[in-house]
Amino acid sequence: MTTTTPAATPQPKKSQSQWSIVRTQFFRNPLARVGMGLLAFLYLLALFAGFLAPYGLAEYSTSERISWAPPTTVHWRDESGKFGPYVYGLKRDIDMETFRDKYVEDTATVCPVKFFVRNPGIEGRTYKFLGFIPSNLKLFGVDAPCKLYLWGSDNYGRDQFSRIMYGSQISLTIGILAAVLSLGLGLVLGGMSGYFGGVTDTVIMRLVEVLNAIPELFLLILLRAMFPVNANPIVVFYIVVFLLAFVSWGGIARVVRGQILSGREQDYVQAARGLGASDSRIIGQHLLPNSATFIIVAMSLAIPSYILTESGLSFIGIGIVEPYASWGSLLSLAQAGGFETLDARPWVMLPGLFIVLAVLGWQFVGDGLRDAFDPRRRR
């Protein structure tokens, strides 16, 4: 007598939540992965800027200003064959063809490149590791009188590499802060406009139309002119964040208003109102969560525009002020040099490369999120 084993009952597939599906679809997008990698790299640079930068933000030589020095050549093997990074000192010379200053290596002065160095006695070298831990530990550096200008120096003799590292903290942070503030204003005012209607809706929407009627750049310049140009750099930073958010919340408010208008008559909203829920609870816990898809995508696409706008303001001299630096203010050195920048000091255009990378990273991430949330674009 033969016995037969019953066929295995197929196990039902485990259901996935919406966020799980979105995450899977997002990481299937190659450009979204590239964008995430770029942003991770840039924000790690910003997070560890003080540790990576060999010099302070505004540090320069007090004995001799080394303006527009070219990138320092790092040598790896000395004349005896010993391996190890070192640099030569710099000495000023005259280019007999152009009659301009130039810097040549002083082979009589040799300085080894040291790693994990501390310089407790030098002003400006102390920073806050991870934003709150005071430290003066640097990844690398050289002793005086040598200078280590990996990406050259600016007109004041300050290390361009160090200032780009510190500038990443301003440029990358200002985009997120402005986007969060703009999104908050748009959600609150758009939600109030769509839910209450009447006079509230009229006043808020007319304000949006007034803001949209004025060109954004002109409005930013006009509002920025109301504050002192030489104000405290920290105050200027928050002023720029507020101005960027103030001129940009209108578009978010319009979309949120439309979504609230379509959702406030739904059965679940009427049920919540019948159970005695307050207006703020209905808006905050029932209506706005339905806008989560729009909020996430809008924020990811707004951040690169704020980075570009801040860079433009700093480029024309009304954004971040000295001694702080952003990529836009650093890029203004290229404009000051004119055509000479391309020929004599091309390293001053490096901040523009970082702006492009940051904008591309956020655009790729924003496009990936938009496709992941859209069922018609899923793979």
What is the DSSP track for 168-180? HHHHHHHHHHHHH
Strands 75-77 vs 83-95: parallel, antiparallel or unpaired:
antiparallel
Domain boundaries along the sequence of the chain: 61-157, 163-377
Give the pLDDT score at 42. 95
From the number of C-beta atoms within 10 Å of its C-beta (0-12, 13-18, 19+), residue 2 rates as exposed
Task: Encode pLDDT of 213-263 as tens digits.
Answer: 878 777 787 777 777 766 777 788 888 888 888 888 888 888 888 888 877
Task: Encode pLDDT of 105-116 as tens digits.
Answer: 888 888 899 999
pLDDT average, residue stretch 205-211: 88
The answer to whether the predicted template modeling score (pTM) of the entire model surpasses 0.75 is yes
pLDDT above 70: percentage of residues in the chain: 87
Instruction: Examine the pLDDT at 199 and tell me if it is beyond 60.
Output: yes
* Contact status, residue 268 vs residue 141, Cβ threshold 8 Å: no
365 versus 18: the higher-pLDDT residue is 365
Helices 292-315/160-196 angle, 10° precision: 140
Structure tokens at 74: 């790092």
pLDDT average, residue stretch 146-164: 89
Q: Which stretches of the chain are DSSP H helices?
A: 18-28, 30-47, 49-52, 160-196, 198-213, 216-224, 233-246, 249-263, 267-274, 279-282, 292-315, 327-337, 340-344, 350-373
CA distances from 231 to 30, 170, 315 (A): 44, 17, 18
- pLDDT tier at 379 (50, 70, 90 boundaries)? low
Token look-up 């160095």 returns 117
Token look-up 């304000």 returns 207
Q: At residue 183, what is the residue type? A: L
DSSP string, 21-75: HHHHHHHH-HHHHHHHHHHHHHHHHHHTHHHH-SS-TT---SSS--TTPPPPPPE
Task: Encode pLDDT of 311-355 as tens digits.
Answer: 888 887 777 877 788 898 888 888 766 667 777 788 888 999 999
**What is the architecture of the domain spanning 163-377?**
Orthogonal Bundle (1.10)
pLDDT above 90: percentage of residues in the chain: 16
Pick the closest to residue 86 from 96, 71, 72, 76 (CA basis).
76
Instruction: Examine the pLDDT at 63 and tell me if it is beyond 70.
Output: no
